[in-house]
Structure 1
Amino acid sequence: MTKENDILLASELRAVVTRLTKKMRKESSTAAQLSLTERSTIALLDQHGELLPTELAAMEKITTQSMSQILNKLLLLGIIKRRISETDKRKAIITLSDEGRTLLYQVRHEREEWLNKALDATCTEEEKALLKKAIGPLTKLVDFD
């Protein structure tokens, strides 16, 4: 592939992934009550189990003040739990509540249902197999720093 073709591939991939992401965001009525950063924070808590607010802020690349506002909203909604560290009373440990985990899984389910329906309606079995093969390279892209 030439450099020009590589750039064209990058452009086309960016455009289609962006459109798919936006489309999937709209396909969950449950997720509509939360911002993108709030949803991402919930997903990080699900992935890591428990985190400090400073760790969440660093992962989301936002200020600790902004994360504090997000956590206060999620706490008010009953989506997260906050407890004081037993080893350092100055630190708060954030975890998902049962309600938060249920919300996250509902959002994922709604999006997966839509995507499955879209795949069935628009793709042949060969195209689905091609998409399955593309998951590996796409994962490498996501993990690239």
Structure 2
Amino acid sequence: MSDEKEIQLASELRFIIGRLSKKIRKTSATAEKLSLTERSTLALIFQYEEILPNELAAMEKITTQSMSQILSNLLNLGLVKRRISELDKRKVIISLSEEGISLIHKSRSEKDEWLNRALEATCTAEEQEILKKALAPLAKLLNFD
């Protein structure tokens, strides 16, 4: 059983990471016109390069019908491409268009630039070193199920 101090750390960490993540998402004017799920879907397609719609739906924890609507909107915006699988003609493979790839890169660049400016404006060199040292333990949290 966790003691109150450990729970307090978890609570504060969750709150700060959540708020910072939300703030960073809002710093990208490029991706602002897209919903959070659309942005997340684009990031997944970027990560996997080619993926099936039902795989995307499972990763986003939404129905295939909802994913179909999201992909239709992204297709209309020219951000994704579809092609029929050569192995199974019933399957459609989704990938990013050049515009989709460009949007991902530009959005990430905007977020990185904002966060870099924020770090320089608000954190001392010593605090930045503390944050660097905290990256490894924070990364471990990503692998915990």
What is the TM-score normalised by the length of structure 2? 0.96
User: Map of 1:108-119 to 2, 5 A cutoff?
Assistant: 108-119=108-119
- Superposed structure 1 runs of 4+ greater than 6 Å apart: none
1:92 counterpart residue number: 92
What do the CA deviations read for 1:51-107 (whole angstroms, capped 9, x no partner)? 000100011111100100000000000100000000100000000111000001111
Q: Percent identity?
A: 65
Q: Take 1:13 and 1:112, find their aligned partners in 2: how far apart are those partners?
A: 21
Q: Take 2:61 and 2:140, find their aligned partners in 1: how far apart are those partners?
A: 21
Q: Take 2:143 and 2:77, find their aligned partners in 1: how far apart are those partners?
A: 32
Q: Take 2:137 and 2:42, find their aligned partners in 1: how far apart are those partners?
A: 26
> RMSD of the alignment, in Å?
0.9
Q: Take 1:29 and 1:107, find their aligned partners in 2: how far apart are those partners?
A: 7
User: Map of 1:1-145 to 2, 5 A cutoff?
Assistant: 3-145=3-145
Aligned length: 144
Equivalent position amino acid for 2:84 in 1: I
Q: Take 1:86 and 1:140, find their aligned partners in 2: how far apart are those partners?
A: 39
Unaligned 5+ runs, structure 1: none
Unaligned 5+ runs, structure 2: none
Q: Take 1:36 and 1:57, find their aligned partners in 2: how far apart are those partners?
A: 14
SS at match of 1:51: coil
Q: Take 1:66 and 1:140, find their aligned partners in 2: how far apart are those partners?
A: 32
